[in-house]
Structure 1
Amino acid sequence: MIDVYTVKFKSQDFNEYFQLVSDASVMEMITERAIPMDEARIDFEQLMENNKLNDNFGHFKILTVSSNEFVGLAKLVLNEENKVEAELGYMILPLYWGKGIASHVARKLIGHAKQQESLEKVVAIIDPKNIPSRKILINNGFVSKEFKDFDGLPGEILALELP
């Protein structure tokens, strides 16, 4: 497995973010389409605003330890309406698929969530066809809660109750 670490996205990281969200294969199980530049800029500004809300939560770049290469995005975002819940997610560039990175990042985010005394639950939303992500989440204790439509796209909500 490639050793990786995470750091919060900063305003100068738009190009890495756009590299990820403009890749149709990355976005196939998320939005079913690549995100165009103008939409990505708006999304990135919202991501940056979210990153300012809490030091312990937000959107993180995934980088290789050996060369600081950009691998993808990891998120652990506090639910602003229900502050005892956070959403976990990740997107990995295709070059790094199948190398155990998503599993490693998911474990790190879950470990971080467990250290936050205020959290009671972590949720993840996936495309029901995304079997690899579903497997990662189930292997980390997540349980399927419901299937739901998200803006016309299918979604499965999985949850992990924290001790």
Structure 2
Amino acid sequence: MTVESISLTKYIASDFSTYYPLVKEDNVMRYITGKGLTPEEARKKFDSMIEINAKDVRIGYFKVYNTAGEFIGDAKLEWNMLDSSQLEIGYILKEVYWGKGYGSMICTQLLSLAEELFSKVDIIGIIDPDNAASKRLLEKFGFKSYFIGIEDNLPTEKLILKKAFDLE
């Protein structure tokens, strides 16, 4: 058995045609927005991703490729919009790549990047509470649940990987 690996490449403005087929799929987006994105919704989200990518060359939104060079999904490591003292981790995979260990590979790379750049910064993951696979994955890496409720009209669970030292 060959050991797969992945590579992360930051999205650039000309990558919309790579991004949209991923996020238009209802099953892929079920636990993120509840349904696939329309072209207009996808364009708005993609443009915001490109803006975020322009702010920091080291972190942001990434295309994920497997060893064969196939685009398998995307990943993010960005500053949390609601608490700029925290980083946020996330990923989306094409359905054909679910359950094959790619989520673990993505988390390993993103957490390694976070450790290298911001070793003392807490990291959160935001998931749908019904997404048991994503919850198990984050917990495997040491994340702990701290919020379950509704946010932005969507069922939301937040998990945190504490890195900062609390003085309290």
Shorter-chain TM-score above 0.5: yes
**What does residue 126 of structure 1 align with?**
127
Q: Quote the residue 1:113 is aligned against.
A: 114
User: For 1:44-63, what aligned pairs fall within 5 Å after superposition?
Assistant: 44-63=46-65
| Amino acid corresponding to residue 44 of structure 1 in structure 2 | F
What's the CA shift string for 1:112-151, capped at 9, x where partnerless?
A: 1111237520001000110110001000000001112122
Contact 1:27–1:33 (8 Å) recurs in 2: yes
Question: Are 2:16 and 1:14 equivalent residues in the alignment?
Answer: yes
Identity %: 33
Q: CA deviation at 1:72?
A: 0.2
Matched residue type, 2:60: G
Secondary structure of 2:157 counterpart: strand
In the alignment, does 2:145 pair up with 1:144?
A: yes
* 2:123 counterpart SS class: strand
Q: 1:151 and 1:119, CA in 2 relative to 1: closer, same or farther beyond 3 A?
A: same
Equivalent position of 2:97 in the other structure: 96
Residues 61-100 of structure 1 show CA distances to partners (whole Å, capped at 9, x for unaligned) of 001222x211001000113664431100000000111110
Q: Which secondary structure state, in structure 1, belongs to the residue aligned with residue 126 of structure 2?
A: strand
Q: Please give the residue correspondences for 1:23-62 in structure 2 after superposition, counting only pairs within 5 Å.
A: 23-62=25-64
Tell whether the 8 Å contact from 1:120 to 1:162 is kept in structure 2 after alignment: yes
Structure 2 contact 119–163 (Cα < 8 Å) conserved: no
When residues 110 and 25 of structure 1 are mapped into structure 2, their CA distance, relative to the original with a 3 A threshold, is same
> 1:157: which partner in 2?
158
Q: TM-score, normalised by structure 2?
A: 0.91
Q: Which runs of 5+ in 2 are unaligned?
A: none
Moved over 6 A (4+): none
Q: Which amino acid aligns with 1:54?
A: D
* Cα RMSD (Å): 1.5
Aligned residues: 162
CA separation of 1:36/1:80 partners in 2, compared to 1, >3 Å: closer, same or farther? closer
For 1:150, the aligned partner's letter is: E
- What is the TM-score of this pair, normalised by structure 1? 0.93
